[in-house]
Amino acid sequence: MKLLFRGTCPKDPLGSDINEDRWAFDEDRGTLALCDGASESFNSSVLAQILGDKFVLDPAVTLGWVDNALTDYASQHDFAGMSWSRQASYERGSFSTLLGVQHIPGNKTVEVLAVGDSLAVLADSGRLVSSWPYSDPERFKDHPTLLATLPEHNAFISSSGFWTTHGKYFELGELESPRLICVTDALGEWMLRQTQSNYDAVGRLLALTTEEELVALVVEERRAGRMRIDDSTLLIAAFDLEE
């Protein structure tokens, strides 16, 4: 798996607010992760980066895996040294999506794990083939399940239906020129909605070559009212089907 494009556009391209989207990629392991920290939660970009970094090294997500990530998160914060207001915010928790991808060359498949509303799209020769966890843009109105620094919020990971609910396999064997497009929610909703309206959103994204072009696209679509204002991140990967 090769990473062809990575780029992001924050809520305000000219502002100083933190972009809570984070990503990680390991070409040797064939793993990729995109995480979107919840803006209203405490220091969520840190949690998002920890989850992404951990996934690309070890994609077998279990409750113990998440607990280890939370230990890493806690180690990066000095609770005793915080003001009372920051302590209160910390105790309310931090939340993040996790979109994790593992390429399995021998089976010509891509395993996709989606906790939350970051979106993976499989395209072939510029055509949308499949998407996960949503195919209907209306689903972005739902309240997504997120990973949290509050352990009680993560109990769903140990359920017997965890993979059935959150996982999917993309089959590559019959495709000519597969591309994997990973996006955070505002960009994902836009892509599905525009595709539904017969606009070639997939082709538009695949044609991007620089982050500046992505920012220009996002700003244009926001101004036209076709895209929500939120951090918007795009990753595009390709596969060697001869592996």
Please name each of the domains of the chain with its CATH number: 2-238 (3.60.40.10)
Dump strand ranges (E) for 27-151.
31-36, 95-96, 98-104, 109-115, 119-124, 127-132, 147-148
pTM of the model: 0.95
Distance CA(111)–CA(97), nearest Å, equals 17
Tell me what pLDDT residue 89 has. Answer: 86
Tell me what pLDDT residue 14 has. Answer: 84
What tens-digit pLDDT sequence spans the chain (243 residues)? 999 999 999 999 887 678 999 999 999 999 999 999 998 888 899 999 999 999 999 999 999 999 999 999 999 988 888 899 888 988 899 999 999 999 999 899 999 999 999 999 999 999 999 999 999 999 999 999 999 999 999 999 999 999 999 999 999 999 999 999 999 999 999 999 999 999 999 999 999 999 999 999 999 999 999 999 999 999 999 998 765
What's the full length of the chain, in residues? 243
224 touches 199 (CB < 8 A)? no
CB hemisphere CA count around 223 (13 angstroms) = 6
Distance CA(241)–CA(243), nearest Å, equals 5
